[in-house]
Amino acid sequence: MPSQEHLSKQFDIDLDTVRTRVLEMGGLVESQVVAAIEGFATGNRELIERVSTSDYRVNSYEVSIDNDCSHIIVRRQPAGSDLRMVLAISKIVTDLERIGDEAEKIARMSKQIHERGTLQIQRFAEIRHMGGTAVKMLRAALDAFARQDTAQAANVVLEDVTIDNEFRSIIRQLITFMMEDPRTISTALEITWIAKAIERVGDHAKNIAENVIYIVKGTDVRHTTLEDVEREAKKT
Amino acid sequence: MSAQIESIKPEATPPERAATPAAKAEVKGLNFFYGGYQALKRIDMVVHEKMVTALIGPSGCGKSTFLRCFNRMHDLYPGNRYEGRIVLYPDNTDLLSRGVDPIEVRMRISMVFQKPNPFPKSIFENVAYGLRVRGERKRRVVEEKVEQALRNAALWDEVKDRLHELAYNLSGGQQQRLCIARALATDPEILLFDEPTSALDPIATASIEELIHDLKEKVTILIVTHNMQQAARVSDFTAYMYLGELIEFGNTDALFIKPARKQTEDYITGRFG
């Protein structure tokens, strides 16, 4: 990555501003996922409501950052690492917005489960653990973006396997519950949706990490093997 | 998911790129001196046939000097000296060899300059000039060649009814296309463009760029440009030069998205300096 500043100071300012706003948006989305999972585990109505009512802020960040990217492309015709940065940011904000949607989905399901009252299935610990893994991945992907750290980005991609395994394990447990007692089916289905939403958060975090590798190394590692991702991340 | 990654890998592999095009010319160990000053240093590069190759770099990097070596323009001034070879294929002619006549070289390798420079003659005579120098006397042949060159330069429809008017009456963009027609009239194998649109407005620039795109079906093109977006738009291959050296040469898309050298990255991203 070039360390030197641009001849145009305004170009530096424009790029720094858009990068900072991506991190702000990432911070907001991360707090929404944390609140949604906590809301599911504790039934805290206030947390659940907060996730639902603040989704519009995530959406407006997405529109505004995309607009900033268009502005940079029109005015600066970026090339090389600048072009990759702008292209990747445009994709990263889409992933962040979808993570926000998943958080909202978790909040909505949690509200339904808790409004129904007594729970026939207690799966809080597993969901909380899986949620913790997803939040850790998201935080690491955003850190990797902030520091342009490809090694950390590669770790996020590898971590996706863990969250997929946790998801499959929860689904197996829920199937057992549903087979044993059909009265648990509606709640089990809602918990399935929550687990799926968390699994999707992991997928989006992985996408963000892959974009960090693209920005820094210029190689598109989507749809390649984990070995390829690790090799690219380490390449000097 | 990792299982999905494994399963989709074979289909997701991008199709093989077309094989590298044949070489029209090859520059081997080229050094060039303006008297005691070395302007080009050990340049090795392949010019691909019927492709557009752009030369970019900051002012004074040697890109115009390099371009002018191809048709021996430097021979016109005393004290200039070439070392190395520029081999023209398929006949393996070394363009820089003392035994090769520069006039013959210029018949095979034509040049279009920064500012349109029509001769103070009619439109027709401007295009016919190279043919007459070559010794073509048959009126019918000259007329056919002039029409063909003007058509190839996308100018025929605009001038066919006033071929005998003075070329200076044309607009700047038309004059530049006339110069391209003049360069094309002798059926060159390589066409050299030295910042061909720097004196033109955006509309005329777009028509020249469109023309370059169409011409590469017939002829190999080398273009020097200060405008990086123009290089990205019109060329298949790009060479970045700095201080008389060829820093990086490669596929244009790759060079503008993922340059291999930090110097190239700094230049194309506007960090140079």
The nearest CA of chain A is from the CA of B263 a distance in Å of 9
The pLDDT score that the predictor gives to residue B8 is 44
Confidence of residue B271 (pLDDT cuts 50, 70, 90): confident
The nearest CA of chain B is from the CA of A41 a distance in Å of 26
As a whole number of angstroms, the distance between CA B216 and CA A118 comes to 75
Confidence of residue A230 (pLDDT cuts 50, 70, 90): confident
Confidence of residue A118 (pLDDT cuts 50, 70, 90): low
As a whole number of angstroms, the distance between CA B243 and CA B241 comes to 7
Confidence of residue B15 (pLDDT cuts 50, 70, 90): very low
Is residue B268 predicted with pLDDT exceeding 60?
yes
Is residue A70 predicted with pLDDT exceeding 80?
yes
Please, what is the angle between helix B172-184 and helix B202-215, to 10°? 20
The CATH number for A9-234, chosen from 1.20.58.220, 1.20.1600.10, 3.30.1360.120, 3.30.465.10, is 1.20.58.220
Instruction: List CB contacts (< 8 A) between A81 and chain B.
Output: 265, 269
CB-nearest partner of B269 from A80, A224, A226: A80
CB-nearest partner of A226 from B2, B270, B271: B2
Which pTM does this prediction carry? Answer: 0.82
Confidence of residue A207 (pLDDT cuts 50, 70, 90): very high
The pLDDT score that the predictor gives to residue B3 is 43
As a whole number of angstroms, the distance between CA B209 and CA B176 comes to 12
What are the E-state strand segments in chain A?
Answer: none
If you average pLDDT over every residue of chain B, what do you get? 90
Instruction: List CB contacts (< 8 A) between A79 and chain B.
Output: 228, 232, 256-257, 268-269
**Cis ω on the peptide bond leading into residue B21 (within 30° of 0)?**
no
Please, what is the angle between helix A80-115 and helix A55-76, to 10°? 170
Rounded to 5 degrees, φ, ψ at B47 are: -105, 115
Is residue A39 predicted with pLDDT exceeding 60?
yes
Output A62 or A123, whichever has higher pLDDT. Answer: A62
Nearest CA in chain A to B8: A223
Mutation site, A77, A167, A232, interface B, largest B CB count within 10 A: A77
CB-nearest partner of A80 from B6, B229, B259: B259
Contact B198, B223 (CB under 8 A): no
Instruction: List CB contacts (< 8 A) between A8 and chain B.
Output: 270
What share of chain B in percent tops pLDDT 70?
93
Instruction: List CB contacts (< 8 A) between A2 and chain B.
Output: 262, 265-266, 269, 271
The pLDDT score that the predictor gives to residue A114 is 86
Rg (CA), chain B: 20
The pLDDT score that the predictor gives to residue B14 is 46
Q: In chain A, what are the domain boundaries?
A: 9-234
As a whole number of angstroms, the distance between CA B222 and CA B49 comes to 10
The pLDDT score that the predictor gives to residue B261 is 94
As a whole number of angstroms, the distance between CA A153 and CA B97 comes to 55
Output B174 or A119, whichever has higher pLDDT. Answer: B174
Confidence of residue A2 (pLDDT cuts 50, 70, 90): low
The nearest CA of chain B is from the CA of A127 a distance in Å of 19
User: Which domains, from first to last, does chain B contain?
Assistant: 21-268 (3.40.50.300)
ipTM over 0.85: no
Is residue B12 predicted with pLDDT exceeding 80?
no
Rounded to 5 degrees, φ, ψ at B33 are: -125, 130
CB-nearest partner of B265 from A77, A81, A223: A81
Outline where B88-138 has alpha helix (H).
Answer: 102-108, 123-134
The pLDDT score that the predictor gives to residue B221 is 97
The nearest CA of chain B is from the CA of A163 a distance in Å of 9
B152 token code pair: 């190839």
**Residues of A at the B interface, defined by Cβ within 8 angstroms:** 2, 4-8, 11, 76-84, 160-161, 164, 203, 218-219, 223-226
Nearest CA in chain A to B6: A225
Residues B150-178 as b/e (b if ≥16 CB within 10 A, e otherwise) read: bebbbbbebbeeebeeebeebeebbbbbb
Instruction: List CB contacts (< 8 A) between B258 and chain A.
Output: 80, 84, 218-219
Confidence of residue A235 (pLDDT cuts 50, 70, 90): confident
The nearest CA of chain A is from the CA of B240 a distance in Å of 14
Establish, for the pair of chains A and B, how many residue pairs have beta carbons separated by less than 8 Å: 65
Residues A54-82 as b/e (b if ≥16 CB within 10 A, e otherwise) read: bbeebeebbeebbebbeebeeebebbbbb
**Parallel, antiparallel or unpaired: strands B220-224 and B190-194:** parallel
> B110 - beta bridge partners?
B191
Q: What is the layout of strands, in order, in the sheet containing B109-112? A: B109-112, B190-194, B220-224, B52-56, B237-242, B245-251
